[in-house]
Amino acid sequence: MNKKTSSRPVFPFTSIVGQEEMKLSLILNVIDPKIGGVMIMGDRGTGKSTIVRALVDLLPPIEVVENDPYNSDPYDPEQMSYEVLEKIKNNEKLSIVEIQTPMVDLPLGATEDRVCGTINIEKAISEGLKAFEPGLLAQANRGILYVDEVNLLDDHLVDVLLDSAASGWNTVEREGISICHPAKFILIGSGNPEEGELRPQLLDRFGMHAQIKTVKEPNLRVKIVQQRELFERNPIEFKNKYKDEQEKLTDRILTARKKLKEVNISYELLEKISQICSELNVDGLRGDLVTNRASKALVAFEGRNEVTPKDIFTVITLCLRHRLRKDPLESMDSGYKVQQVFKKVFEYE
């Protein structure tokens, strides 16, 4: 089996100081991608892009069908392109390679054709072929799609990304020709609230919402600057220093993925989650579902089997704060509101 790897050094995830809320949201989504992605809102220069790239470096390589533009899974028909399914039908032998978990950065000026892919109509008509040129969604299949400044992206494009992330498929239709391919990825968006919020109906489609703020403590700021300087001076040496911690975290994530099926949440706790969502006037059931999934992923990550109220308290703000209706006269952080209602429902101190 061949193996492709990228040699560019990436800042180690375990060396990142602070930003616990963001790190936890990303890890839980990697354990259970059905949580539905993360929206990271924070000031400029708080290391949003650095942390996302560091996350990808943690993930184990994946096996794909060689030369397949969609990173098709050689063992799961649900995650195969039609071309690969055809090969299997014709009993052709698949060549399998290992690649790094893909991470695609969506450029701000990207067009819909660049994102979804294009159909070459002339070729399709003249040669009778479905001449499809895959886009960024194809590259991101089975990996992570990162959109920086997502609040500056055209709403229509954000909609397309969210639809693909939720369904796991991308469909392109042009002049009566339709192409469908797997596009299962974790969507991570980041933005600066000063540049405008996402529309509420788009924001609600992100599973979790992490807020990151500029670190205020001088000693922590110094530590962050020093870490960065050490990394830039000698990336290889810096990475080696965190090698054991990185491997331990990767193992924990892989173990948690397997353990997820064994995690239980009692009916009583599910009812209380729904009561909180109801009292907060959260529209739809997405908040209930995401809080349930995120609690279970946290329990699996900690190597336990049963969800407790404390687990729910840890994740519920991240799952609900962006789903609350905003009162224009209210400046209170919505996280505080979620916690107050949680404490009331759970009689929790």
Assigned CATH topology for domain 264-346: Helicase, Ruva Protein; domain 3 (1.10.8)
Instruction: Give how far the C-alpha of residue 281 lies from the chain's centroid of Cα atoms, to the nearest Å.
Output: 26
Q: What is the pLDDT of residue 319?
A: 94
156 vs 130, more confident:
156
Q: How far, in Å, CA of 148 to CA of 192, rounded? A: 9
pLDDT at residue 229 above 90? no
Same fold, 2-212 and 264-346: no
In the chain, the percentage of residues whose pLDDT exceeds 70 is 91
| b/e burial code for range 3-30 (CB count within 10 A of at least 16 → b) | eeeeeeebbbbbbbebbebbbbbbbbbb
Per-residue model confidence as pLDDT tens digits over 186-219? 999 888 877 777 777 778 888 999 888 777 778 7
> pLDDT at residue 271 above 90?
yes
DSSP secondary structure code for residue 34 in this structure:
G
Per residue in 90-121, pLDDT tens? 888 888 898 888 999 888 888 888 888 887 76
Catalytic site includes residue 286: yes
For residue 75, which phi and psi values (nearest 5 degrees)? -115, -10
CB 230 within 8 A of CB 191: no
Query: What are 78's two structure tokens?
Result: 């649900």
Most confident option among 122-131, 140-149, 223-232, 331-340: 140-149
Query: Bigger pLDDT: 295 or 49?
Result: 295
Q: In this structure, what token pair is assigned to residue 121?
A: 């109509």
Domain ranges of the chain: 2-212, 264-346
**Which of 185-194, 223-232, 245-254, 273-282 shows the lowest mean pLDDT across its residues?**
223-232
pLDDT in the model for residue 107: 82
Please identify which of the residues 286, 293, 321, 323 carries the catalytic annotation.
286
DSSP 59-125: SPPEEEETT-TT---TT-GGG--HHHHHHHHTTPPPPEEEEPPPEEEPPTT--HHHHHEEE-HHHHH
pLDDT one-digit tens code per residue, 59-93: 888 999 888 889 988 888 888 888 888 888 888 88
Q: List beta partners, residue 147.
A: 189
Left, alpha or beta for 217 (phi > 0: left; psi -120 to 50: alpha)? Answer: beta
- Fold of the CATH domain 2-212: Rossmann fold (3.40.50)
pTM, two decimal places: 0.87
Q: How confident is the model at residue 312 (pLDDT cuts 50, 70, 90)?
A: very high
- Average pLDDT, rounded, for the chain: 84
Q: What is the arrangement of strands in the sheet containing 2-3, beginning at the earlier edge strand?
A: 2-3, 96-99, 62-65
pLDDT in the model for residue 127: 63
Residue 337 has pLDDT above 70, yes or no: yes
Give the whole-angstrom CA distance, residue 91 versus residue 85: 10
